[in-house]
Amino acid sequence: MLVRYFAVLTLAILIIGAVTGMAAWVTRHTWLPWLINQQFDNARVTSIEQLQISRGYGDWHAHIQRLVIQTDHGQQIRLDNLQIRQLNELFAHVFAASRDSVPKAEISIDQVTVEKAGHASAQSAPGKPGQDDESKATTKRESDADRSQSSGVEQTGDKEREALKISHLLQQLQTLPVRNVEIRTLQLPDYLPGYSTAQFSFGSQGAIEGDIRNSHCDGCLLSLDIDPDKNHPQFQLELTRKQDVIASVTGNLQNIPQSAPATWGISTNTKLSAEPLSALIADLMKPLPPSSIENWQNWLTLLADSRGSATVNLRGKIEDDIRGLQGIDSLHNEIQLNNLTVPLPKILVGTPLSIKTNTKSPIKLALDSLNPLSAREVSGELTIGVQSQPQGNGVYLLNAEIQLTESTDGLPQVAVDGNLDLANWQEVLEHPGIKNYLSGYEIEDLSGTQEFSVSFALPKLDTKIIETKQHIRDFSAQWKFSDNTGFLLKLPKSKTPATLQEWRKTQITVSGDQSISFSAAQIPGSLQASTPLFKVFFETPDQPEGEANTKITTRLLELNCTDVMAKACVFQLDMHASNLSLPEENTRLDNFTLETKIEVRDSTDPASFAIDLSDLNMSVDKSTSGEISTDNSELFSSRASCEINPAKMHCESPQIAVSFAPMALAGHSIEGIVFLEDLHLTRSEDKTSQNVEESGWVTTGLSNYRADQLTIKTANALTIQLASRGKVDFNDKQLSGVSTITSGPLQFDSKWQHDRNNQEGRLELALAPTEFSRSNSLALGIDGLPANLVGGKLEGSAKLHWPDSQQDTAQGSLSDAVVQYNNSYAVGINSTIYLEREGESWATTAPARVSADTIDAGVALKNLHFGLTINASGDVVLTDFSSELLEGALTSDTVKWNIGGEKRQSTFQFTGISLRALTNELESTNFSASGLMDARIPITTDAEGVTVADGSLQSRPPGGRMRYYGAFSPQMLSSNPQLKLVAGALEDYTYRDIHGTIQYPLSGDLQLNLKLTGNSQAIDAKRDLIINLNLENNVPSMLRSLQASRDLTDVLEKQAQ
């Protein structure tokens, strides 16, 4: 473009000379920009300063201090100190009949500056020393006139000119009237650092040779050779650095005769060598202009590290009329790459990588036309390798072969086959940029070779690809994992919760029996994925000695994604884990299994996705959590769903069934099924924590629950059947709930809460007044109790706390209760008792008054009254005990019994016991007696049982009568005359006094040592007869005999009435 400007300018100066008669100093040239602008396309002269024409040594010369040209592309070209020598030779060459001679005119310019118009500095032409005020004023008037004239040109507009033709341009080049053009300083501040120098020489027939050098590139040379032959012009452009060829372009035009419109054939060959180019770029980057750093820095940095070479051969046709892209057609490109290595920008992967490419067969691109764009052929084959070093001398991370073909419907087809070796990626993961991105996570011991293949159809290369949104079509890909694919994952120690500490080092292995397939009708569009089986294996190595490694096997079966980007996938998930533990919760699971069908889908929130689970089944053979152990636990839900985004996860299910058989704690166990209904759980970021290290996640939720039948077995052999319904509320670490518990006739209302932060909680129980009967007894809910509540009413309440149980309280009331203990019973029991915790035991807050109508273990106690005290030492104390027994009274000031089996002593007083009532109670046919007896019985209780030592017995005056028939067998009487005498006396014996001792050992054999004083009618009614008797009877057997002699059902019904 500059050469054309020079030619036009020179012709304008010749016209000036002809019109003015070659005056020595031209002071009026305001019309000159207008004249020059008539010859320019897409540009105009805006200023000419100090034009001077002179003559010396027989030749004419021209000098312009400054010439400013404004292009329509927003650039300003400023020429300073422009000189044209031998104007007369130039004039003679222009008007010569023959152009075979070499032109002699020369043009030199001290400085040419090309920059964006907005950046150009408004500098006036420098004045010469000694210039007078008139000259300065004249110059100003001339400049003002120039602007005025220029403004006038814009108002009138340019006339329509003939389109530029290649043939005309060649003709102009052949007739250029100058021998050489020299630019001493060429500055492009918006594009290149420093400055350049340019030298162009013109031979006969327009042959052009040119050299351009740059101040920042020592030894760099851009050379240009043009032979503008009118039928077969040729050109060559070569860029070298220190004699190393960086790039070269050679080409020619061939006039196609008799073509309509006139057309040229074009052929070029371009060669590029990346290594010397990188050295050139390194020179030019010292320094880059600030205005170009943003646009060029990244790309120039990449080019500076490139290696290898590329060759591009181009053939095509171009119309003689240069009309832009419309006149170019029938283009054939062939591209060959030879070990071309280009670094990848770090912004892509965060670490230095490079791509190395080679063409196995040239990449061919045939275009019928450029405007409108229409491609006829795209083909070729090349290899690509990704290496771990920017210079391309590292290990290969990925290798691929790419094949380009043309389909029958004219779409370019791309097929890619490749593999990558994960072991070679370890070096990449060690890069500081990648480590920073991983935020403390570490990946080690990568292994496994992955194979992949990809095929797709590119959009047809035509105008539509630009004018409309086009798609990649028929996309298909396969990814195959090798059996040894795996890596060791290390979680950041500072960020890993205690729950996952065991998993801080995890060996992960991935395998697939078949490839993962991807497909899409078009991209952008829905991407499908599928595989019949995909397995991931997790294992925690380096476990402490004696502990088994935790292993988790996960299988994804029948994976089918209809839209991967929209997260629309369905698959069956099977998971099995052995020795799974959560150290923070002190929890371990053995043989954990999970099976479910999962559907992943897009959510209404663009940042979220949803997961639907169906037929969810989890089971654990054995689990322990602290002191709690569970066998054969299982969780099942027919349907559950979760919505997940980076800051929140919400899950819900209409029903989840949890079974355990059994769950055990401290010798107690529970088994059954619990149903969680309308479950809602939300896990979200904790935005309230002021401490970043303590910030985490908050879990909230709500659920109803019911258990239709739970069985509890206690350490003391009780079996409790119960059902429960209620509601559970989760608020992060705060758990609370309400429930109703039913066990037989009992129905408790409960309210509880638990704080997981400090493991504190409380439980409130309330038992509504409950009526009991033999058909609705306590044993219906609780089996194994020593006694059964078969009548009356019970109510109570309790408040329990943990771990501080000292706040625990309980209260219970019995009204007209009937209690059965084996074949013994108690009727009409009434009492209210208040209990509280003292240390590890329960104790009454005050003595509780207890009354009972009857207690009958074979011999009935009636009208019982006493005060009941339970103290922290385990003593059960009865005070002011009184009852009716055998028409007499049984009393005691204090009765003690220790629950722990410690030794305690008490004393009972028998007062006025009727012997007649006793014989009636015994229902004996061979014994009868009358009279009243008093007794004192000291009782000792301990862990072995109840004993009596040295109890005393005394009859009341005046005594009574006793008859005992058949006390001894005939055989005994026949061999012992004295015994026969006693037996006869006891058949009708009247006593005045009976006294003796009572012994009751652990064997249960009651021993009575009695001395009877009285007389017998059978021997001598007037003479005292003293009899010493030692009687022994097993009390438990006697009571059982008495109990067996009655119908307990009838007795209880009568007592209840």
Cis amide bond preceding 803, omega within 30: yes
380 lies in some domain:
yes
Q: What is the predicted pLDDT for the residue at 958?
A: 94
Nearest to 516 by CA among 569, 441, 580, 553: 569
Residue type, 276: P
Q: What integer is the mean pLDDT of 219-224?
A: 87
**Same domain assignment for residues 63 and 107:** yes
Q: Which residue has the tokens 């590029």?
A: 272
815: pLDDT strictly greater than 60: yes
740 lies in some domain:
no
216: pLDDT strictly greater than 60: yes
Mean pLDDT (the chain) is 80
133: pLDDT strictly greater than 60: no
Q: What is the predicted pLDDT for the residue at 715?
A: 82
Residue 94 phi, psi (nearest 5): -65, -40
**Same domain assignment for residues 64 and 194:** yes
pLDDT band per the 50, 70, 90 thresholds, residue 28: very low
Residue 228 neighbours by CB under 8 Å, 6+ apart: 170, 173, 174, 205, 206, 207, 208
973: pLDDT strictly greater than 80: no
Q: What is the DSSP letter of 777?
A: -
Nearest to 945 by CA among 999, 998, 1004, 895: 1004
Q: What is the predicted pLDDT for the residue at 748?
A: 92
672 lies in some domain:
no
Strand pairing class (875-885; 888-898): antiparallel
Bridge partners (DSSP) listed for residue 927: 964
CA distance 138 to 30: 11
Q: What is the predicted pLDDT for the residue at 624?
A: 85
CA distance 811 to 788: 19
Q: What integer is the mean pLDDT of 986-1015?
A: 92
320-329, 747-756, 757-766: which range is least confident on average? 320-329
Q: What integer is the mean pLDDT of 946-975?
A: 87
Most confident of 50-59, 463-472, 787-796: 787-796
pLDDT band per the 50, 70, 90 thresholds, residue 1010: very high
Q: What integer is the mean pLDDT of 890-911?
A: 95
**Same domain assignment for residues 285 and 353:** no
pLDDT digits (tens, 9 = 90+) for 682-716: 988 776 655 444 446 788 899 999 999 999 888 87
Q: What is the predicted pLDDT for the residue at 48?
A: 86
Q: What is the predicted pLDDT for the residue at 469?
A: 66
182: pLDDT strictly greater than 80: yes
21: pLDDT strictly greater than 50: no
Contact 711, 672 (CB under 8 A): yes
145: pLDDT strictly greater than 50: no
Q: What is the DSSP letter of 25?
A: B
351-360, 593-602, 931-940, 1045-1054: which range is least confident on average? 1045-1054
Q: What is the predicted pLDDT for the residue at 424?
A: 82
pLDDT band per the 50, 70, 90 thresholds, residue 461: low
Domain hosting residue 1010, numbered range = 928-1056
In three-state secondary structure terms, 951 is strand
Secondary structure tally for the chain: helices H, strands E: 16, 54
Nearest to 202 by CA among 222, 220, 177: 177
12: pLDDT strictly greater than 80: no
CA atoms within 13 A on the CB side of 473: 12
DSSP character string of 803-825? S-GGG-EEEEEEEEEEEEETTEE
Looking at 470, 502, 532, the residue that finishes a domain is 470
Tokens read off for 224: 């240009």
Q: What is the predicted pLDDT for the residue at 167?
A: 80
Nearest to 176 by CA among 238, 113, 250, 89: 89
**Same domain assignment for residues 309 and 347:** no
Q: What is the predicted pLDDT for the residue at 365?
A: 82
pLDDT digits (tens, 9 = 90+) for 906-947: 999 999 999 999 888 887 778 889 999 999 999 999 999 999
Q: How far apart are the first and last CA of the chain?
A: 129
507 lies in some domain:
no
Cis amide bond preceding 524, omega within 30: yes
319-333, 383-397, 819-833: which range is least confident on average? 383-397
* CB neighbour burial string for 747-776, b if at least 16 within 10 angstroms, e if fewer: bbebebbbeeeeeebbbbbebeebebeeee
261 lies in some domain:
yes
Q: What is the predicted pLDDT for the residue at 694?
A: 46
38-52, 196-210, 292-306, 700-714: which range is least confident on average? 292-306
pLDDT band per the 50, 70, 90 thresholds, residue 273: confident
Q: What is the predicted pLDDT for the residue at 462?
A: 63
CA distance 498 to 584: 5
Task: Please give, one letter per residue, the 3-state secondary structure of 659-718.
Answer: EEEEEEECCEEEEEEEEEEEEEEEEEECCCCCCCCCCCEEEEEEEEEEEEEEEEECCCCC
Q: What is the DSSP letter of 858?
A: S
Q: What integer is the mean pLDDT of 639-646?
A: 89
Q: What is the predicted pLDDT for the residue at 696?
A: 64
82: pLDDT strictly greater than 50: yes
Q: What is the predicted pLDDT for the residue at 630?
A: 87
Q: What percent of the chain has pLDDT over 70?
A: 80
pLDDT band per the 50, 70, 90 thresholds, residue 94: low
Q: What integer is the mean pLDDT of 92-103?
A: 63
497: pLDDT strictly greater than 60: no
Q: What is the predicted pLDDT for the residue at 188?
A: 83
pLDDT band per the 50, 70, 90 thresholds, residue 293: low
DSSP character string of 493-517? GGG--GGGGGGSEEEEEEE-SS-EE
pLDDT band per the 50, 70, 90 thresholds, residue 665: confident
Q: What integer is the mean pLDDT of 144-172?
A: 53
Q: Which secondary structure element, helix H or strand E, spans residue 141, and what is its range?
A: helix 133-156
408: pLDDT strictly greater than 80: no
- CA dihedral of 520, 523, 525, 529, whole degrees rounded to 10: 30
Looking at 428, 448, 470, the residue that finishes a domain is 470
Where are the strands (E) in 150-282, listed by range? 178-187, 196-202, 208-214, 220-227, 234-241, 244-256, 263-273
Q: What is the predicted pLDDT for the residue at 14?
A: 45
830: pLDDT strictly greater than 90: yes
Q: What percent of the chain has pLDDT over 90?
A: 28
Tokens read off for 802: 């943990």
Q: What is the predicted pLDDT for the residue at 280?
A: 74
Bridge partners (DSSP) listed for residue 47: 68
Q: What is the predicted pLDDT for the residue at 163?
A: 61
pLDDT digits (tens, 9 = 90+) for 522-580: 888 888 888 888 788 887 776 666 566 778 888 888 888 888 877 788 999 999 988 77
Q: What is the predicted pLDDT for the residue at 298?
A: 60
Q: What is the predicted pLDDT for the residue at 60?
A: 80
DSSP character string of 238-254? EEEETTEEEEEEEEEEE
Tokens read off for 942: 């301990």
**Same domain assignment for residues 1034 and 940:** yes
DSSP character string of 549-605? PPEEEEEEEEEEEEETTTTEEEEEEEEEEESEEEGGGTEEEEEEEEEEEEEEEE-SS
865 lies in some domain:
no
Contact 823, 788 (CB under 8 A): no
**Same domain assignment for residues 308 and 435:** no
382 lies in some domain:
yes
Higher pLDDT, 585 or 741: 741
CA distance 779 to 789: 7
Contact 50, 90 (CB under 8 A): no
Q: What angle do CA 409, 414, 419 make, to 5 degrees?
A: 155
**Same domain assignment for residues 280 and 393:** no
Higher pLDDT, 464 or 616: 616
- CA dihedral of 36, 38, 40, 41, whole degrees rounded to 10: 160
CA distance 276 to 242: 9
**Same domain assignment for residues 317 and 338:** no
Looking at 322, 347, 373, the residue that finishes a domain is 322
Q: What is the predicted pLDDT for the residue at 33?
A: 67
Bridge partners (DSSP) listed for residue 1031: 1008
In three-state secondary structure terms, 454 is strand
**Same domain assignment for residues 967 and 1004:** yes
Residue type, 1040: R
Q: What is the predicted pLDDT for the residue at 785?
A: 85
- CA dihedral of 613, 619, 620, 626, whole degrees rounded to 10: 60
Residue type, 265: G
CA distance 799 to 811: 9
CB neighbourhood size of 77 (10 A)? 19
**Same domain assignment for residues 336 and 422:** yes
**Same domain assignment for residues 343 and 291:** no
229-243, 829-843, 849-863, 904-918: which range is least confident on average? 229-243
CA distance 606 to 645: 9
Q: What is the predicted pLDDT for the residue at 9?
A: 53
Q: What is the predicted pLDDT for the residue at 625?
A: 78
Higher pLDDT, 1001 or 52: 1001
**Same domain assignment for residues 338 and 306:** no
Count up the domains in the chain and report the number.
4
Q: What is the predicted pLDDT for the residue at 794?
A: 95
CA distance 4 to 970: 164
955: pLDDT strictly greater than 50: yes
Q: What is the DSSP letter of 607?
A: T
What are the angstrom distances between the C-alpha of 309 and each of 17, 271, 272, 930? 54, 7, 5, 136
549 lies in some domain:
no
